[in-house]
Structure 1
Amino acid sequence: MASKFPAREDLDDQFLTCAICMLHYRDPKILPCLHSFCRECLQLWATKQQPLECPTCREPVRLPDQGVDGLRTNFYVNNLLDFAAAKKGAGPDHEVVSEETFMVEKDAGKFHRKRHCPKHNNHELVFYCESCKAFACTACTVVDHRPGKDHNPVEITTEAQKRKETLQGLLQNINPRLKEIQDAVKEVDRKISKLVPSKEAATDQAKAYFHKLADLLQKREEDILSQIDEQCRADGKALQAKKVAIEFELAGLTSAQTFCQQAVEHGSDVHVLEVGNQVQTRVETLLTKEGDLESNWSEFQFVENTTEVDNFGGVRTNVDVSKCKVAVKKPAVQGFQCVAELTTMNKEGHPCFNNSKAVITDMKDPSGTNLATQVQMKSRGLWEISYTPEVTGNHKLEVKVNSQQVSGSPFDVDVKGNPVLTITGEGSWVGELDRPVGVAVDKDGNIAVVERGNKRVRIFDKDRGHTFRIFPVEVEKAHSIDVDSEGRFLVTSRGENFGLRRYSKEGKLLNTLKPDCMRGPHGVTVLKDDRMVVADNKLKSCLLLQPDGTLIREIGKGQLQNPVFVSVDESRDVMFVTDKDAHKVFAFDLGGNLKFDFGKEGENDGEFRIPTGVTSDPAGNIIVGNSGDGRVQVFAPDGTFKQKLGPVKGECASGVALTPDGYIAVACRNGHCNCIELYRYM
């Protein structure tokens, strides 16, 4: 099939121009990269450049042994040049035809240059020897390429057709790659278009960043100078206080010296005998007194630090961060202000002063969110770090002094929910709690519980809630428990075998009190002098008793309906009694006078649903448990509602007690859950 030449408008002069000499090709040669150049141009180019590269694509070129002459001739370009020349007019070697003839495909072959055999000049190349990969004329097939075992000449048109089909397949693969490359060019153009705006944006960001650094450095300078000023003031105050203490000791010893010297030099014998012992005692006391004359102060210095902008520079004092200590006070509880204490120590391990700006704290909750902290100096070398966690889980507290991490920082702080501890006895050798009613705290801060279901008293470790002691209470309806000044337990019981039983710390029954005035003892509380107050629901009053059970007076007769638990705040001379039928708390003095009452039946704040356990804290706040709905409420000393806790797990709050570290222990019970819960409050 003959080739179809381009239309006139498609014959771009650039396509027929050599990229080196910028003239029409003269004997064009094809490089391996398929770019064509004049033979003479390539020969000149090869003399100027070694190793040779394509002038267009810079692809390295390895010439054949024959040099440029060994490259293949671009006959397609030659034919186009002939075609273009024929269009312009007949050349000396061409036949003149009409323009219409140019458009007829079967005549286009006339404009292909004829290829003649290099050995037989009069013969046209019409065969292709597949074995030799060489062209041949008719004469060659008789002599050099005779068909047989070594030669296989076929017509050029046949072999060309096969090659065209192969190339046609390659053409189909070229288009996708062309599109990919064209898209890449567009992408590069797009990025080039963004180059200048990117430069401008980066320039603006860089300027803003370094302005920010400058601001940070200025602020850091102000902070450091402020630290130096405050350190100077703090050290000056400490040194001045030390000076006053030393001068006071000096004045005392000087005075004693003067008095002693006057007595020796000028006193009569009688006078010396009169004051001699007193003077001797005073002087010996002063001389043997171990006074701390050391100031424990070393000069502070500015130290350089360029690792972090926020910590550039610092003030070096006599604090040794490796000896500083951090302690978390009480379990941290969600929603309550919590405290950790930092003690700044010197190299000798003694507490030492520092300025407040030198202590930096940072706390993060489990999600990594910063939690606000406050630092306050409480005393020499003691700092209080306060914070209010909003979620439970492990928090990280970072503490730095003079821009250095305190040993052990960051510290783990396990924030608990409320209640902070639930004690069921599950898994212990004595089994689970069964109907806990009364609860008290012994002299060691451990929690003692009356179990009505198991007819015993169980004592739990104050920190972990582990059982470490039990003793039996052989009565059917044990109710309340308290501890006297000697650490002995007093337990009330109701029913046929009612009474007030006293047990040793080890749980041995010492005696049973059953005075004639008693009928139905419920709650009991013991005063500091071991007098007792017992709530008696059958008498509808409270009994103030001597340690031996003798009645002192009856309190609340005619005012109480069904008293169940009682507590006394001796510092304020007030006794609190819960009345489950009246749904109130009554406050009497120990003389029996009603001071006030508060509460009514209901489920709102300040109202009660069968109030039971009651106690008070050192601040005079009144803590009351509800048997009906499990709420525990905190009231001000005058009975004003302040806070609600719970409902407790068992939904029946019975006895309540206050631990030495300020937690409320609540006895919780119903048919499905029996436990002691510890609540943080305030």
Structure 2
Amino acid sequence: MARNMPDDFDEQFLACPVCMLHFRDPKILPCLHTFCRECLQEWATKQQPLECPTCRTQVSLPDQGVDGLRTNFYVNNLLDFAAAKKGVEPGVPCQVCDGNVEGSKSWCADCAKLMCDSCTLLHRRFPLFENHEVATEVTLKAEEGRSKFHRKRHCEKHKNQELVFYCESCNALVCTACTVVDHRPGKDHNPVEIATVAQKKKESLQALLQDIDPRLKHVHASVKEIERKMANLVPSKEAATEQTKTYFRQLAYILQNREKEILSQIDEQCRADGKTLQTKKEEIEFELAGLTSAQTFCQQAVEHGSDVHILELGNQVQTRVETLLAKQLDLESDWSEFQFVENRDVKDFEKEVRDFGGVKTKIDASKCEVVLKQAVQGFECVAELTTINKEGRPCVTNSKAVTSNMKDPSGTDVPIQLQMKSWGEWEILYVPKVTENHRLEVKVNSEQVPGSPFEIEVKGNPVLTTGRKGSGVGELDAPLGVAFDSDGNIAVVERGNKRIQIFNKDTGQSLRSFPIDGEKAYDLVVDSNGMFLVTSWGENFGLRRYSKEGKLLDTFKPDCMDDPHGLTVLKDGRMVVVNRPEQTSCLLLLQSDGSLIREIGKGQLQNPVFVSVDESRDVIFVTDKSAHKVFAFDLDGNLKFDFGRQGDIDGEFQNPEGVTVDRAGNIIVSNAGDGRVQVFGLDGTFKRKLGTVEGGYASSVVLTPDGYVAVACFHGHCIELYRYK
């Protein structure tokens, strides 16, 4: 609340920010903003979760709702004081006798009544009221009147008792009667006079006030600094705009001058070439005239000359013509058409223009950071850029200040999309069409960020293969079930080595392993608590739960279970187990303790293997190896549909085994017969092929939250990780 408030305090301080009326039963939110109880109740019905109407801070109401919030007694005191101060003005009647408007008035804080002198005197004579606090008109009008004006608080259990003690053990205000009954001093309760505790609390609050003042000054200074910057925003923009225009006008002027120079060269060359061609023309025309004259004379002599004439001039004509014909003539011109030579390709120049200036921002390119994510051919890939200011903090900047380009191994441009993710965080998105190394260049303020240009290795699917046949660390023998543990690592159950081995998802490095019981381990899941659940069939069959460290915790062998294979666990702890006794294969829906809820699919399934549940639709998917199909049941056991048939083309199955469902409801199925991993839509319609695994036997499949599919390769003795989305 405001400190050092004058007695003529602003009426707005007593008004609820919601209804704009005087507070009625004021309640304080945890953010210390006060509102009418009724206003908060109405506000809470319109908004979940509740937010403070003033500062938008989310509020968790106590179990009692708005009624459980603290009452702002300080505001109540001010309201009482305002009413009392107004009551002592001339012409206001006594609130006890309802008649006397003359003389001075007094205010009883306990009764919350304004009284005339007569009623005040009578009030003081009653023993019942002898401890009531009465403020005289002089007190109300004095400068310190408000600070002495307090409404007394009474115990809710003992209505006539004032709250005068504070039980430190219970953190509760109590009355004298409470200290005898419910808060008797002892090891469980420690009632202390309010004044003593209040003084300590005042001292601690005073210390906090001293800490607040420097922070307030700092915040006020920050606000003023921001206001100063906001005031300079438009002038700064205008100055930068003018500088930009001047700069590019100069560039344009240089280009225009260069254009004029080249056009002048063309004109000058045209004149020189014209003169040369004219001279050449005249030379050729001179030779043409000689030949034409000789031709005419010779022709006339032949056609019209007498024998005597021929004999007299024949030799001369012959000599002239032979001389002309023997003469070496340069009849060709070496002139070629004018052609402008582009010393620099326009596209290259366009790229260079990006370096012709830029907006100087507070971002320091030398401190910016780029994180490269795994890149896979044909998928949208991302590199993350953090723009950092000179102080080393992430900072936002305009999108024009950040530029990037990518080239594939052949030098072809790869389209890039740049988008701001959050404060100072950017995503550089691209879809590589080929594998091998790509070159990514990232600039901020036309400057290369550290490490740019980056070499990014683009992989094809699978992006990771881990394991090889053997029993050592990192080696696998007949992997069947695969899952992701609570840390995001790959967990694999090996039938041959009778163990669970954990691999790093990013590097494929073996992290640890532990042995498991059971003769023929089959499937593996990790529940919501991070525990490993493993099925095994044959002798000593069962469903076993192991701790994160590999300690055996439970073994489930209900009477209904005989030959457990595939397994999945629902969010509520229920389990679905593939049970494969001869002639009675089915699914077992079990409680978390292993007790049977119901059997599903009995008489409809031939050779079921793995199972997955789409909990958003309450649909169970189970692969049937012999039927070459996937069956879909609801949790009540009703068959919804099935899809698939035996074959080698897309959409057909060869002994389907692994099955899982993505968030969109698409179904991912692996084949034991040929190693294909395929994706189907909600209704079983084929969508695409994900790949074919090493060794041609794809067992269990599992989908990671970040969009990868891990496949157990039974004959390949490895795990393959595919990019899925």
For residue 620 of structure 2, the aligned residue among 562, 575, 579 is 575
Deviation at 1:429, TM superposition (A): 4.5
In the alignment, the residues of structure 1 paired with residue 682 and residue 551 of structure 2 have an alpha-carbon distance, to the nearest angstrom, of 37
> What secondary structure does 2:354 align onto?
helix
Q: Is the 8 A contact 2:77 2:151 kept in 1?
A: no
In the alignment, the residues of structure 2 paired with residue 522 and residue 595 of structure 1 have an alpha-carbon distance, to the nearest angstrom, of 22
Q: Mapping of 1:414-433 within 5 angstroms?
A: 414-425=457-468, 429-430=472-473, 432-433=475-476
Q: Is the 8 A contact 1:612 1:625 kept in 2?
A: yes
For residue 639 of structure 2, the aligned residue among 569, 586, 594 is 594
In the alignment, the residues of structure 1 paired with residue 619 and residue 82 of structure 2 have an alpha-carbon distance, to the nearest angstrom, of 64
Q: Mapping of 1:108-127 within 5 angstroms?
A: none
Q: Is the 8 A contact 2:619 2:634 kept in 1?
A: yes
Partner of 2:378: 335
Distance 1:468 1:266, change over 3 A: same
Partner of 1:316: 360
In the alignment, the residues of structure 2 paired with residue 565 and residue 251 of structure 1 have an alpha-carbon distance, to the nearest angstrom, of 48
Q: Is the 8 A contact 1:650 1:675 kept in 2?
A: no
1:485 maps to a residue whose letter is S
Q: Tell me whether 1:522 sits opposite 2:522 in the alignment.
A: no
In the alignment, the residues of structure 2 paired with residue 388 and residue 376 of structure 1 have an alpha-carbon distance, to the nearest angstrom, of 15
Q: Tell me whether 1:636 sits opposite 2:658 in the alignment.
A: no
In the alignment, the residues of structure 2 paired with residue 425 and residue 632 of structure 1 have an alpha-carbon distance, to the nearest angstrom, of 20
For residue 511 of structure 1, the aligned residue among 545, 549, 554 is 554
> What secondary structure does 1:363 align onto?
strand
Q: Tell me whether 1:658 sits opposite 2:703 in the alignment.
A: yes
1:433 maps to a residue whose letter is L
Partner of 2:580: 537
Partner of 1:618: 663
In the alignment, the residues of structure 1 paired with residue 57 and residue 576 of structure 2 have an alpha-carbon distance, to the nearest angstrom, of 56
Q: Is the 8 A contact 2:478 2:717 kept in 1?
A: yes
Deviation at 1:344, TM superposition (A): 2.4
Partner of 1:492: 535
Q: Mapping of 1:229-628 within 5 angstroms?
A: 249=55, 263=79, 266=82, 301=240, 308-329=352-373, 331-425=374-468, 429-430=472-473, 432-538=475-581, 539-628=584-673
Deviation at 1:415, TM superposition (A): 1.1
Listed one character per residue, the Cα deviations across residues 196-250 of structure 1 (whole Å, up to 9, x for unaligned) are: xxxxxxxxxxxxxxxxxxxxxxxxxxxxxxxxxxxxxxxxxxxxxxxxx9x9659
Q: Is the 8 A contact 2:629 2:644 kept in 1?
A: yes
In the alignment, the residues of structure 1 paired with residue 407 and residue 577 of structure 2 have an alpha-carbon distance, to the nearest angstrom, of 50
Deviation at 1:510, TM superposition (A): 2.0
> What secondary structure does 1:650 align onto?
helix
Distance 1:643 1:342, change over 3 A: same
> What secondary structure does 1:346 align onto?
coil
1:380 maps to a residue whose letter is W
Deviation at 1:431, TM superposition (A): 5.8
Q: Is the 8 A contact 1:437 1:479 kept in 2?
A: yes
Distance 1:260 1:498, change over 3 A: same
Deviation at 1:409, TM superposition (A): 1.7
Q: Tell me whether 1:669 sits opposite 2:714 in the alignment.
A: yes
Q: Is the 8 A contact 1:425 1:466 kept in 2?
A: no
2:664 maps to a residue whose letter is A
Q: Is the 8 A contact 1:563 1:580 kept in 2?
A: yes
Listed one character per residue, the Cα deviations across residues 71-112 of structure 1 (whole Å, up to 9, x for unaligned) are: xxxxxxxxxxxxxxxxxxxxxxxxxxxxxxxxxxxxxxxxxx
> What secondary structure does 2:544 align onto?
strand
Deviation at 1:259, TM superposition (A): 6.4
Q: Is the 8 A contact 2:469 2:477 kept in 1?
A: no
Q: Is the 8 A contact 1:614 1:622 kept in 2?
A: yes
Listed one character per residue, the Cα deviations across residues 381-434 of structure 1 (whole Å, up to 9, x for unaligned) are: 332211111222222211122322223322232211210000115799436211
Distance 1:275 1:438, change over 3 A: farther
In the alignment, the residues of structure 2 paired with residue 680 and residue 515 of structure 1 have an alpha-carbon distance, to the nearest angstrom, of 39
In the alignment, the residues of structure 2 paired with residue 558 and residue 352 of structure 1 have an alpha-carbon distance, to the nearest angstrom, of 64
Partner of 2:11: none
Partner of 1:86: none
Distance 1:490 1:316, change over 3 A: same
Deviation at 1:543, TM superposition (A): 0.5
Deviation at 1:273, TM superposition (A): 5.6
Distance 1:314 1:563, change over 3 A: same
In the alignment, the residues of structure 1 paired with residue 383 and residue 517 of structure 2 have an alpha-carbon distance, to the nearest angstrom, of 46
Structure 1, unaligned runs of 5 or more = 1-244
Deviation at 1:493, TM superposition (A): 0.9
Deviation at 1:508, TM superposition (A): 1.8
RMSD: 3.9
Distance 1:665 1:260, change over 3 A: farther
In the alignment, the residues of structure 2 paired with residue 250 and residue 505 of structure 1 have an alpha-carbon distance, to the nearest angstrom, of 42
In the alignment, the residues of structure 1 paired with residue 462 and residue 153 of structure 2 have an alpha-carbon distance, to the nearest angstrom, of 66
Distance 1:248 1:403, change over 3 A: farther
Q: Is the 8 A contact 2:469 2:718 kept in 1?
A: no
In the alignment, the residues of structure 1 paired with residue 476 and residue 513 of structure 2 have an alpha-carbon distance, to the nearest angstrom, of 12
Listed one character per residue, the Cα deviations across residues 161-184 of structure 1 (whole Å, up to 9, x for unaligned) are: xxxxxxxxxxxxxxxxxxxxxxxx
Distance 1:259 1:398, change over 3 A: farther
1:658 maps to a residue whose letter is L
Q: Is the 8 A contact 1:425 1:467 kept in 2?
A: no
1:525 maps to a residue whose letter is T
Q: Mapping of 1:85-104 within 5 angstroms?
A: none
1:629 maps to a residue whose letter is D
Q: Is the 8 A contact 2:471 2:497 kept in 1?
A: no
Identity, in percent, stands at 62
> Which structure has the bigger radius of gyration?
1
> What secondary structure does 1:571 align onto?
coil
2:688 maps to a residue whose letter is Q
- In the superposition, the TM-score normalised over structure 2's length comes to 0.54
Which structure has more relative contact order (CA 8 Å, sep 6+)? It is 1
Q: Is the 8 A contact 1:428 1:467 kept in 2?
A: no
> What secondary structure does 1:646 align onto?
strand
- In the superposition, the TM-score normalised over structure 1's length comes to 0.57
Distance 1:273 1:457, change over 3 A: farther
Structure 2, unaligned runs of 5 or more = 1-50, 59-71, 85-108, 113-149, 155-171, 173-201, 252-348
In the alignment, the residues of structure 2 paired with residue 274 and residue 548 of structure 1 have an alpha-carbon distance, to the nearest angstrom, of 58
Distance 1:440 1:388, change over 3 A: same
Higher deviation after alignment, 305-314 or 571-580: 305-314
Q: Is the 8 A contact 1:565 1:578 kept in 2?
A: yes
In the alignment, the residues of structure 1 paired with residue 369 and residue 678 of structure 2 have an alpha-carbon distance, to the nearest angstrom, of 37
Q: Mapping of 1:182-261 within 5 angstroms?
A: 249=55
Q: Is the 8 A contact 1:489 1:503 kept in 2?
A: yes
In the alignment, the residues of structure 2 paired with residue 466 and residue 261 of structure 1 have an alpha-carbon distance, to the nearest angstrom, of 70
2:82 maps to a residue whose letter is H
